[in-house]
């Protein structure tokens, strides 16, 4: 909670302006606390330092396969398609096919999952190909 505390302290500033200044600062603190509570309720989390990850691993499946399993500790996942095939990637539990996918990656394309996406990532190559996958946690 360090950055929230600093923001509150920055908002408060100096309380040398009498009662009006103190009331203003209390209103600003109250508004900030309401915002922070709403962010927490919405599941937003403050920026985290990256402490680890897995990868890069290789994905080469020409039939549906799991690129990355669900992981509540995942902060991000990067996929780089380096082979000649076209990789079809799906976020979520739907089975990926060459006609049902979230994103299609040609050779040399790069994709990052949305921030803090922790769900299943599936994929399939239309023809033989290779992708490098790195998960950040």
Classified as helix, coil or strand, 28 is helix
Classified as helix, coil or strand, 77 is strand
The Cα–Cα gap between 14 and 22 comes to 9
- Collect all residues with Cβ–Cβ distance below 8 Å to 95 and sequence separation of at least 6: 64, 122
The tens digit of pLDDT for each residue in 20-53 reads 555 666 777 787 777 777 766 665 555 554 556 6
The tens digit of pLDDT for each residue in 122-134 reads 999 999 999 999 9
Classified as helix, coil or strand, 57 is strand
Does the pTM exceed 0.85?
Answer: no
């Amino acid at each position: 909670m360090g950055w929230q505390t600093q923001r509150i302290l920055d908002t408060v500033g100096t309380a040398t302006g009498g009662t009006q200044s103190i009331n203003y600062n209390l209103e600003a603190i109250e508004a900030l606390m309401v915002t922070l509570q709403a962010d927490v309720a919405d599941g937003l989390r403050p920026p985290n330092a990256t402490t680890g990850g897995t990868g890069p691993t290789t994905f080469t499946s020409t039939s549906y396969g799991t690129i990355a399993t669900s992981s509540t500790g995942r902060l991000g996942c990067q996929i780089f398609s380096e082979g000649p095939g076209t990789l079809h990637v799906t976020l979520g539990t739907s089975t990926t096919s060459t006609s049902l996918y979230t994103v299609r990656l040609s050779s040399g394309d790069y994709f990052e999952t949305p921030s803090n996406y922790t769900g299943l990532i599936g994929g399939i190559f239309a023809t033989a190909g290779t992708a490098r996958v790195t998960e950040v946690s």
